[in-house]
Amino acid sequence: MSDPIGARVAAIEVRLARLETLLDAAPHRGSPMPCRVITATVAAAHGVTLEELTGEGRRDATVRHLAMLLCRRLTGASYQQIGRAFRRDHSSVIYGLRSAEARVHAEPAFAADLARLEARCRLALTAPEPLAQGASTCA
């Protein structure tokens, strides 16, 4: 059974990441903004919070490795930049990327999840979410 509040929080985090991306006047490859969009999208898809995804625990390591791989593939971010986004050092990022790549080749379900999330992330990075009816652009 899914947590309705957790799902709503995850959806809000995705929207916030999209808004932050729109506010970034000069996005570039390796920018932390796209990594935030990717991490928010992956977290929402897997039912975890950004804190759980980037925190110290190992419980969500597989999801974190998946998000790291997407950050590398979609943004071209360096190991150090990805490490900063996930509060890890570059060697942990290298391990996570190798682990995720190995699973992509060994597990069709993992590869399918990666492909599905990559499509979602590409959409989130390129298509800003329309404002809800009655919503204001001002805070």
pLDDT in tens, 68-110: 999 999 988 889 999 999 999 999 999 999 999 999 999 999 9
Q: What is the pLDDT of residue 100?
A: 96
pLDDT at 130: 45
Cα separation, 128 vs 13, in Å, equals 14
List all residues 6 or more positions away from 19 whose beta carbon is below 8 Å from its beta carbon. none
- Smallest CA-to-CA distance from 102 within 54, 74, 126, 69 is with 69
Q: Give yes or no for residue 1 having a pLDDT over 60.
A: no
Please tell me the predicted confidence (pLDDT) of residue 10. 78
Backbone angles phi, psi at 132, to 5 degrees: -65, 155
Confidence of residue 55 (pLDDT cuts 50, 70, 90): confident
pLDDT (0 to 100) of residue 27 = 44
Task: Give whole-number Cα distances, 73 to 2, 122, 124, in Å.
Answer: 30, 11, 15
How many CA atoms, within 13 angstroms, populate the side-chain half-sphere of residue 79? 10
Model confidence at 2, pLDDT cuts 50, 70, 90, reads low
The domains of the chain are located at 4-126
Q: Do 85 and 39 contact (CB within 8 A), yes or no? A: yes
The CATH label, of 3.40.50.2300, 2.40.50.220, 1.10.1750.10, 3.30.565.10, for the domain at 4-126 is 1.10.1750.10
Q: What is the mean pLDDT of residues 41-58?
A: 88
Q: What is the pLDDT of residues 8-35, one digit of tens each?
A: 877 887 777 776 665 543 344 445 568 8
Rg (CA), the chain: 15
Q: Greatest CA separation found in the chain? A: 48
Q: Is residue 122 pLDDT above 70, yes or no?
A: yes
Q: Which helix or strand (DSSP H or E) is residue 83 part of?
A: helix 79-86
- pTM assigned to the model: 0.69
